A and B are shown apart, each in its own frame.
Chain A
Amino acid sequence: MTATIGAPVERVEGRAKVTGAARYTAEIAADRLAYAVLVGARVASGRVSSIDTRAAEHAPGVLAVLTHLNLARVAAVPNLFPSLFGRAAPGETFFPMQTDVVHYAGQPVAMVIASSLERAQHAATLLRIEYESAPPITTVEQGRTRAYEPSRIFGGLIPGRTVRGDVEAALARAELRIDATFRMAANHHNPIEPSATTAFWEDGRLMLHDATQGITATQMTVAAFLGLSPADVRVRTQFVGGGFGCKAMIWPHVTLAALAARHVGRPVRLALTREQMFTSCGHREEQEQRVVLGATRDGRLTAIRHHKLSPTSEFDDWAEPSLGSSELAYSCPNYEGVYRLFRSNTMTPTFTRGPGESTGMFALECAMDELASALGIDPLELRLRNHADADPSGKPWSSKSLKECYQLGADRFGWAQRNPAPRSQGDGRWLIGSGVATATYPVPALPHLQAQRARARLYADGSAIVECATQEFGTGAATAMAQVAADTLGIPFERVRFVYGDTDLPNSAAAVGSAGAGMLSSAVYAATSALRDQLVQLAIADAESPLHGAEPAAVDVKDGRLTRRDQPDRSEAYGDLLQRHSMRDAEAVGTWIPTGWDTGYAMTTFGVQFAEVAVDAELGLVRVRRLLGVFAPGRVLNPRTARSQLMGGMLWGLGQALLEGTLMDVRTGRCGLVLF
């Protein structure tokens, strides 16, 4: 049997997904299921002055119309804290429909619950809602003069200002300076599955199905909002149709679904419409970034100043951490990163794929290209000259293969063969250009991350189940975890069933920050290692076992058997051992405590991307012909699913650079009008 970790194993849930057998949240069947429809505020700032619900209440099939006048109050509004930490993780510290205030367009102001979706939708159109509205602030242009410097951003995790050395002095001395400003549109995630929650109450216990990147985060958050014990909230969700960050935090609609179910005494499904996906679950904020580089004539960076201005909500200090990459991407003695925010009539922004890295590296790398051009140095060579051999604090990297990435990428792309002179390469009416950029992504080695747990059980027939309170939202985690379990227990991949999608299983954090596979696999490894060690101990203490008396470290597990490495003929199957001891199975729980900052190593993923782009200058067309990415992300559990992840990230970058942007109508503060 060969190791499966690192093998391109096909997704275990692939067939269920492509045949439609996999059930998503809005497809969960329930007896007497009722349907809730949210009605969003049509103004972006002000208050609801009146709601006439009579026509809606009398429409056929309507069970309830809830507004701030009759919706139950939430027990508490928990602090905004990213969902990695085992606490409540609301997307914003504002819960709608508690008062008449309107902070942003689309904010829920009413909820109609009816016996069918269509009836609820129709009744929602019968509501007559009047507003007192004030002119909204929603864009950087409008908010520029109101900006302030927050002490911390991103749920309090990141300081608003980070300084190393003396940037001002270094820029004054710099032989060359580049000063560039970048404007970036807001982005909305829009995974293929819009967010949805199905809620019902069973013997006083709240049962939820939720399209979430963290069923445990849903559990903790809804429990906090409703004043329930986590023991009284159970979330079951196996499949999630993508998230890209909009399901990383737990947004108000989830708790509203639970409140609706309690109000009508029936199971309630609340599925957001595509339009509501623009005003219900966060976004990447519009932003302006300014990068000032100082350098020597031979292309050594002496200063990086990276400032960002962006809108946040009226109640939270949130900016995606766009400046973190500039702090460590290159060796540079002087650095200054400053976030500035202004209050706006939008909801609180949130994680959006490449949250901060994609925008921050875009700005930094464009500035690096400007510098390369000004210096007459090849852009790749400039990056090599500024390679950071250690992190800014001097810690060695846990691993870093960026130079190898540069080399491999340049070879495969044919970087050396290009003519760098502008407009020198063409194909018919197309001008052809190429470019390169460094990629970085942090490893979330943060203090206070929650313990990750998994439970492993081996049956006497040599099959195993491994359980964990996680979910499969398209990353391939269920497949990769079975691979880890199979290798650690020494049984074939096909004999492992990874069981997930239920908060009654051992705890794991939400799958966010590209940390899911790393954290989950550590728990699975801990559980399966503990189980293996337990069985090894059982065998070596057993006089009837061929392994009796062996050193534990001298026992291999392979092909469902325990074997003395130095005496391969002294071996027995797991099943024989268990049966001799009248054991149906053996079981162990494994716990992995995430490392904090004090590992002695700096941890960051590096890579490089090359692009070949065609431009029709006359018609203004931009078409990307080739994208090549080379990444060194550490140990790859499954190259097939890892490749999908990387390709997905590159395609998001392509869309972000060329096509995507949420349009805001500044007159009304409304975005995401029905554009499709």
Chain B
Amino acid sequence: MRPVSYARATSVAEAIAALRAHPDAAFLAGGTTEIDLLRLDVVRPNALVDINALPLSRIEDLADGGLRIGALARMSDVAEAPAVVERFPMLMQALLLGASAQLRNMATIGGNLLQRVRCSYFRDVASPCNKREPGTGCSALDGINRGHAVLGTSDHCIATHPSDLAVALIALDAVVRTEGPRGARAFPIDEFFLLPRDTPHLEHPTEHGELVVAVDVPAAPIARRSLYAKVRDRESYEFALASVAAAMDVQGGVIRAARVALGGVATKPWRARRAEQILVGAPAQRDTYARAAREELASARPRQLNAFKVELAQRAIVRALETLAETGGPQ
């Protein structure tokens, strides 16, 4: 383990200032991934600024009926919050289907959004990886890539974004709030995650020293009938092969509105806007769902071992929408 200094910040301003003073410093929140990566020599900060003491863990109602979730709120606390359970069941499910009970008790909402990819080659310092060491190449393109992405990939990186939570948040049009050297900023969550393109080492539009302070989830009556479905090899302690966050408003057999986002198959939490376009105004039936799923995956670029995900993601979308139509989703 590399030598690293440690300091505990007591205010947001102090935390930001501490990072600005050290170009190679990093914030430390729940530490459930960061410490692993530190020990693996994948991330190499020379200073850690512990932000756990900052007052950023509240879950508050917004005036419009939405929620503001503090960046340091723990996954387990958010999953249990009555407002989340009632208004955003897909969010609750995404949280509870992610990680493990132990990790959920430690991991924070901000850290979840900022978590790094699970690509074996990213985590293995002996392997070339454009994300870890730009310009060295992507070992996953022709390597063990069963878990890798089929959407949003590039010739430089095909690592899947691992978060479940972010998939639900992207379906809910969440906004990521930050504070940093340039003051307070707000990013629509879709813009908070960058596609790898030819710069896979750049994952977020934030700059050094910019701290995620909250995630706003705007009011969405449609989300009261929503779900998060996660397909994986085993029932727990496992990342998604494909996952779907979905909400649907059906009236008189016709889909009036729909939210669909995908996880486990893309390099960023994937809002399925093409699928949504096809769904809205169409009859709520399997054919519609299948067509929406097919068109959404039309741009997929599979590799040798993950080709199945193109079909699996479509089936997962159909299953999620069928389940919503049958049950209205868990209320």
Chain A residues with a Cβ under 8 A of chain B: 42, 60, 118, 121-122, 125, 618-621, 623, 658-659, 663, 665, 667-668, 670, 673-675
Q: Give me 19 A-to-B residue pairs in the complex whose CB atoms sit less than 8 angstroms apart, sorted by A's number.
A: A42-B126, A122-B1, A122-B2, A125-B2, A618-B315, A618-B319, A619-B312, A619-B316, A619-B319, A620-B231, A620-B308, A658-B234, A667-B142, A668-B127, A673-B120, A673-B127, A674-B120, A674-B124, A675-B118
Is B143 an interface position by the 8 A CB rule?
yes
Is B64 an interface position by the 8 A CB rule?
no
Interchain CB contact (< 8 A) of B40 among A42, A620, A663, A674:
A674
Contact A121 B144, CB 8 Å, known A673-B123, A673-B127: no
* Cα–Cα, bound, A121→B40 (Å): 10
Does A118 lie within 8 Å of B1, measured CB to CB?
yes
Interchain CB contact (< 8 A) of B315 among A60, A121, A619, A670:
A619
Nearest first, the 6 A-B pairs at minimum CB distance are A673-B120, A674-B123, A118-B1, A673-B124, A42-B126, A121-B1
Is B3 an interface position by the 8 A CB rule?
yes
Is B155 an interface position by the 8 A CB rule?
no
B312 cross-chain contacts in A, Cβ below 8 A: 619-620
Interchain CB contact (< 8 A) of B143 among A125, A665, A675:
A665
Interchain CB contact (< 8 A) of B121 among A60, A621, A623, A673:
A673
B24 cross-chain contacts in A, Cβ below 8 A: none
Contact A670 B126, CB 8 Å, known A619-B316, A623-B235, A659-B233: yes
> Which residue of chain B has the shortest Cβ distance to A623 in the bound complex?
B235
* Cα–Cα, bound, A33→B267 (Å): 46
Does B41 lie within 8 Å of A125, measured CB to CB?
yes
B234 cross-chain contacts in A, Cβ below 8 A: 658-659
> Which residue of chain A has the shortest Cβ distance to B233 in the bound complex?
A659
A673 cross-chain contacts in B, Cβ below 8 A: 120-121, 123-124, 127, 144
* Cα–Cα, bound, A160→B102 (Å): 48
Range for the number of chain B residues in contact with chain A? 20 to 34
Give, as a whole number of angstroms, the nearest-CB distance from A38 to chain B: 14
A670 cross-chain contacts in B, Cβ below 8 A: 126
A118 cross-chain contacts in B, Cβ below 8 A: 1
* Cα–Cα, bound, A60→B2 (Å): 11
For the complex, would chain B's binding face be called helix, strand, loop or mixed by DSSP majority?
A: loop
B127 cross-chain contacts in A, Cβ below 8 A: 668, 673
Give, as a whole number of angstroms, the nearest-CB distance from B270 to chain A: 18
Give, as a whole number of angstroms, the nearest-CB distance from B115 to chain A: 14
* Cα–Cα, bound, A422→B139 (Å): 42
> Which residue of chain A has the shortest Cβ distance to B41 in the bound complex?
A125
Give, as a whole number of angstroms, the nearest-CB distance from B224 to chain A: 24
* Cα–Cα, bound, A118→B1 (Å): 5
* Cα–Cα, bound, A469→B40 (Å): 38
- Restricting to B296-314, which residues have a CB under 8 Å from any CB of A? 308, 312
A122 cross-chain contacts in B, Cβ below 8 A: 1-3
Give, as a whole number of angstroms, the nearest-CB distance from A616 to chain B: 9
* Cα–Cα, bound, A674→B139 (Å): 14
4 further A-B contacts with Cβ under 8 Å, apart from A621-B231, A665-B139, A673-B120, are A620-B308, A673-B127, A674-B124, A675-B123
> Which residue of chain A has the shortest Cβ distance to B1 in the bound complex?
A118
* Cα–Cα, bound, A33→B32 (Å): 29
Give, as a whole number of angstroms, the nearest-CB distance from B319 to chain A: 6
* Cα–Cα, bound, A205→B65 (Å): 74
B120 cross-chain contacts in A, Cβ below 8 A: 673-675
- Restricting to B65-96, which residues have a CB under 8 Å from any CB of A? none
A60 cross-chain contacts in B, Cβ below 8 A: 3
Give, as a whole number of angstroms, the nearest-CB distance from A672 to chain B: 9
> Which residue of chain B has the shortest Cβ distance to A620 in the bound complex?
B312
> Which residue of chain B has the shortest Cβ distance to A676 in the bound complex?
B36
* Cα–Cα, bound, A349→B144 (Å): 22
A125 cross-chain contacts in B, Cβ below 8 A: 2, 41
B1 cross-chain contacts in A, Cβ below 8 A: 118, 121-122
Give, as a whole number of angstroms, the nearest-CB distance from A185 to chain B: 12
* Cα–Cα, bound, A22→B118 (Å): 34
- Restricting to B1-53, which residues have a CB under 8 Å from any CB of A? 1-3, 39-41
B233 cross-chain contacts in A, Cβ below 8 A: 659
Give, as a whole number of angstroms, the nearest-CB distance from B61 to chain A: 37
Q: Which residue, B39, B123, B144, B235, has most C-beta atoms of chain A within 10 A? A: B144
B139 cross-chain contacts in A, Cβ below 8 A: 665
* Cα–Cα, bound, A403→B40 (Å): 53
* Cα–Cα, bound, A658→B1 (Å): 36
* Cα–Cα, bound, A314→B143 (Å): 25
* Cα–Cα, bound, A658→B143 (Å): 22
A623 cross-chain contacts in B, Cβ below 8 A: 235
A675 cross-chain contacts in B, Cβ below 8 A: 118, 120, 123
Give, as a whole number of angstroms, the nearest-CB distance from A586 to chain B: 52
- Restricting to B103-130, which residues have a CB under 8 Å from any CB of A? 118, 120-121, 123-124, 126-127
Give, as a whole number of angstroms, the nearest-CB distance from B211 to chain A: 28
> Which residue of chain B has the shortest Cβ distance to A118 in the bound complex?
B1
- Restricting to B202-249, which residues have a CB under 8 Å from any CB of A? 231, 233-235
Q: Which residue, A121, A623, A675, has most C-beta atoms of chain B within 10 A? A: A675
* Cα–Cα, bound, A619→B120 (Å): 25
* Cα–Cα, bound, A60→B234 (Å): 44
A121 cross-chain contacts in B, Cβ below 8 A: 1, 39
> Which residue of chain A has the shortest Cβ distance to B305 in the bound complex?
A663
* Cα–Cα, bound, A125→B39 (Å): 11
Give, as a whole number of angstroms, the nearest-CB distance from B84 to chain A: 26
A674 cross-chain contacts in B, Cβ below 8 A: 40, 120, 123-124
> Which residue of chain B has the shortest Cβ distance to A674 in the bound complex?
B123
* Cα–Cα, bound, A668→B126 (Å): 11
B123 cross-chain contacts in A, Cβ below 8 A: 673-675
